Amino acid sequence: MMSLIEAPALVNLGFKIYKIIMNSDYTQQIKRAAEWLSQKTEHRPKLGIVLGSGLSEVADGFRGVDIPYRDIPGFPVSTVSGHKGMMRITPEVMIMIGRVHYYEGWALTDVVLPLFVMHAFGVKKLIITNAAGAVTPQLKPASLVLIRDHINLMGTNPFIGANDPELGPRFFDMTRVWDHEMRIQAQEVARAQLSKRYPLPEGVYAALPGPNYETPAEIRMLQVLGADLVGMSTVPEALAAAYLNMKALGISCVTNLGAGLSQGPLNHEEVVEVGKIVERDMQTLIQGLVARLQ
Task: State the catalytic residue, choosing from 23, 57, 103, 188.
Answer: 103
Residue 213 is among the residues annotated as catalytic for this protein: no
Task: State the catalytic residue, choosing from 34, 142, 268, 270.
Answer: 268
Judged by CB, which is closer to ligand HPA: 76, or 133? Answer: 133
The whole-angstrom separation of Cα 187 and Cα 238 is: 20
Number of residues that bind ligand HPA (CB under 6 A): 13
The whole-angstrom separation of Cα 100 and Cα 78 is: 5
Judged by CB, which is closer to ligand HPA: 52, or 114? Answer: 52
Task: State the catalytic residue, choosing from 56, 130, 233, 252.
Answer: 233
Residue 81 is among the residues annotated as catalytic for this protein: no
Subset of residues 235 to 274 that bind ligand HPA, contact rule: CB under 6 A: 255-256, 258, 266, 271
Phi, psi angle pair for 269, to nearest 5°:
-60, -40
Subset of residues 52 to 71 that bind ligand HPA, contact rule: CB under 6 A: none
Subset of residues 178 to 217 that bind ligand HPA, contact rule: CB under 6 A: 213-214
Judged by CB, which is closer to ligand HPA: 108, or 139? Answer: 139
Who contacts 276 (Cβ-Cβ below 8 Å, separation ≥6)?
A: 54, 57
Judged by CB, which is closer to ligand HPA: 113, or 271? Answer: 271
H-type helices in 173-234, by residue range?
180-193, 216-225
Indicate whether 129 belongs to the interface with ligand HPA (CB under 6 A). no
Residue 168, burial from CB neighbour count under 10 angstroms (0-12, 13-18, 19+): middle
DSSP letter for 178, please: B
Q: How far is the CB of 107 from ligand HPA (least distance, A)?
A: 20
Residue 190 is among the residues annotated as catalytic for this protein: no
Residue 2 is among the residues annotated as catalytic for this protein: no
- CA 104-37-32 angle, to 5 degrees, is 75
Residue 12: count of CB within 10 angstroms of its CB:
10
Q: How far is the CB of 104 from ligand HPA (least distance, A)?
A: 14
Task: State the catalytic residue, choosing from 78, 130, 143, 256.
Answer: 256
Residue 101 is among the residues annotated as catalytic for this protein: yes
Q: How far is the CB of 213 from ligand HPA (least distance, A)?
A: 5
Give Cα separations from 63 to 54, 90, 93, 114, 174 (angstroms): 19, 6, 10, 20, 34
**Judged by CB under 6 A, which stretch of 63-71, 93-101, 103-111, 126-134 contacts ligand HPA?**
126-134
- Residue ranges that bind ligand HPA, judged by CB under 6 A: 131-133, 213-214, 230-232, 255-256, 258, 266, 271
Residues recognised as catalytic: 53, 83, 101, 103-104, 131, 232-233, 256, 268
